[in-house]
């Protein structure tokens, strides 16, 4: 492997100065056509690429976004991520990724590590542990150091920054409402994520829909349980002891488990039981029957978050007012609910 082409090396080659080469390559009118041509040809031949680290150091910006995600195996986050990546590439930004694995400490460490000139700004979805501990100082510190943050989905109330969220409350309300319209009266609500801001909002939406339709909230039909094994047991009990006519599942585990138990107990979906679940992956379509879902437009969330961040990075405005963008969900009707 030969020495990498640099301005210096090229300058030496032609016996000119470094700045001449730099200007020639950036097509400056100061340089004669002849010089430009020979230098550019040589550079192309040598496959010269300006060292972006040096450029970054000079410019005091890296054109890189740090994305902190709780769990890349969750298809929602994977989809948001691909939206971010797409928009970033479009705008000439790189994406550097950290996975907090729902741990507060890891979230903090990764962010501190990256906040040392490596990235220009962050896009974050807050780790579960961070939310339950109500931690937010690390975010504040980072923003005080001059690094902007955009949060999505799981956001921190205590932080005043750009946010992209889903209308969890309203969409849960609408979905429940829809189940009621289908004639369902015994609607179970199932969740393994009630400790998350978004999870709890969804539950509240369910509660409100019941109230507005004068249905009593029966605690026995409510399973909010983080531990999936315990959840499965509780769900099994619920489904053996109650003849439900609908299930509203607030996450993917809950919806698939509900369908599994229905199958085992020979309860027909959707004839005897309507099922709606929050879901984003390709799996809701593949299930048998396919699942009616509240879809969160995950890629759009990612694109919007990237856009907000990049706009902020490119604006010189000191008094930029943070905004919160709400992305509307959509009820995707499939086979697990009856027709109206």
Partner DNA sequence: GTGAAAGCGCTAACAC
Partner DNA sequence: GTGTTAGCGCTTTCAC
Residue 50 sits in the site that holds a second copy (CB under 8 A): yes
What are the structure tokens assigned to 4, written together? Answer: 């990498």
Applying CB under 8 A, the span of 21-29, 113-121, 184-192, 193-201 interacting with a second copy comes to: 113-121
Q: CB of residue 169 vs a second copy: minimum separation in angstroms?
A: 27
Grouping H, G, I as helix, E, B as strand and the rest as coil, residue 190 is strand
The DSSP code sequence of 97-158 is EEE-TT-HHHHHHHHHHHTTTT-SEEEE---HHHHHHT--HHHHHHHHTT--EEEESS--TT
64, two tokens: 């890189």
Considering only 24-32, 110-118, 178-186, 323-331, which stretch makes contact with a second copy by CB under 8 A? Answer: 110-118
**Interface with DNA includes 242 (CB under 7 A)?**
no
Span 55-74, contacts to a second copy by CB under 8 A: 56-57, 62, 64, 72-73
Structure tokens at 213: 């339709």
Of 11, 36, 79, 223, the one binding a second copy by CB under 8 A: 79
Question: Per DSSP, what are the bridge partners of residue 248?
Answer: 189, 276
Position 190 contacts a second copy (CB under 8 A): no
Radius of gyration of the chain (CA): 26
Site for a second copy in 129-148 (CB under 8 A): 141, 144-146
Helices marked H in 134-251: 137-144, 168-181, 197-212, 228-241
Structure tokens given for 97: 């990724």
The 37-76 site mask, x for binding DNA (CB under 7 A), equals ------------xxx--xx-xxxx----------------
Q: Which does 26 bind (CB under 5 to 8 A by kind): a second copy, DNA, none?
A: DNA
Interface with a second copy, residue 47, by CB under 8 A: yes
H runs (alpha helix) in 251-290: 252-264, 283-286
Name the pairing type of β-strands 330-332 and 292-295. antiparallel
Which of the listed partners (DNA, a second copy, none) does 313 bind, with a CB threshold of 5 to 8 Å by partner kind? none
27 lies in the site for DNA, by CB under 7 A = no
Measured in degrees and rounded to the nearest 5, phi and psi for residue 258 equal: -60, -45
Nearer to DNA, 5 or 69 (CB): 5
CB 133 within 8 A of CB 161: no
Task: Write the DSSP assignment of 42-53 as a string of letters.
Answer: HHHHTT----HH
Token output for 116: 């040392």
Place of tokens 């946010």: 163
Residue 19's binding partner among DNA, a second copy, none (Cβ under 5 to 8 angstroms by kind) is DNA
Q: Considering the rule CB under 8 A, would residue 117 count as an interface residue with a second copy?
A: yes
- Least gap, CB of 318 to a second copy (angstroms): 9
CB of 180 to a second copy, least distance (A): 27
User: By the criterion CB under 8 A, which residues form the site for a second copy?
Assistant: 1, 4, 47, 49-54, 56-57, 62, 64, 72-73, 75, 78-79, 81-82, 85-86, 89, 94-99, 110, 112-118, 141, 144-146, 253, 256-257, 259-260, 263-264, 281-283, 286-288
């Amino acid at each position: 492997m030969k020495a990498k082409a640099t301005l210096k090396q090229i300058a030496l080659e032609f016996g000119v100065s470094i700045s001449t080469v730099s200007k020639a390559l950036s097509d400056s009118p100061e340089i004669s056509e002849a010089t430009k041509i020979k230098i550019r040809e040589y550079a192309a031949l040598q496959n010269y690429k300006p060292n972006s680290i040096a450029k970054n150091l000079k410019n005091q910006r890296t054109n890189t976004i740090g994305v902190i995600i709780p769990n890349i195996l969750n298809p929602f986050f994977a989809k948001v991520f691909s939206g971010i990546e797409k928009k970033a590439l479009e705008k000439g930004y790189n994406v550097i990724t950290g996975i907090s694995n729902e741990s507060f400490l890891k979230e903090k460490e990764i962010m501190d590590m990256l906040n040392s000139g490596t990235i220009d700004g962050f896009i974050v979805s807050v780790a579960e542990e961070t939310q339950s501990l109500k931690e937010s100082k690390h975010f504040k510190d980072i923003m005080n150091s001059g690094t902007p943050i955009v949060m999505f989905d799981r956001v921190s109330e205590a932080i005043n920054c750009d946010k992209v969220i889903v209308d969890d409350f309203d969409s849960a309300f609408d979905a429940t409402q829809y189940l009621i319209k289908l004639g369902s009266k015994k609607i179970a609500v199932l969740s393994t994520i009630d400790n998350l801001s978004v999870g709890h909002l969804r539950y509240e939406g369910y509660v409100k829909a019941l109230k507005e339709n004068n249905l009593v909230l029966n605690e026995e039909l409510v399973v909010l349980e983080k531990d999936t094994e315990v959840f499965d047991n509780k769900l099994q009990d619920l489904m053996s002891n109650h003849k439900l006519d609908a299930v509203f599942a607030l996450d993917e585990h809950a919806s698939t488990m509900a369908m599994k138990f229905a199958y085992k107990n020979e309860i027909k979906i959707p004839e005897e039981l309507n099922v709606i679940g929050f879901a984003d992956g390709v799996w809701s379509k593949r299930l048998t029957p396919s699942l009616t879902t509240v879809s969160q437009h995950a890629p759009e969330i990612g694109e919007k978050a990237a856009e907000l961040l990049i706009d902020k990075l490119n604006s010189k405005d000191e008094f930029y007012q943070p905004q919160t963008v709400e992305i509307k969900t959509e009820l995707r009707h499939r086979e697990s609910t009856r027709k109206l």
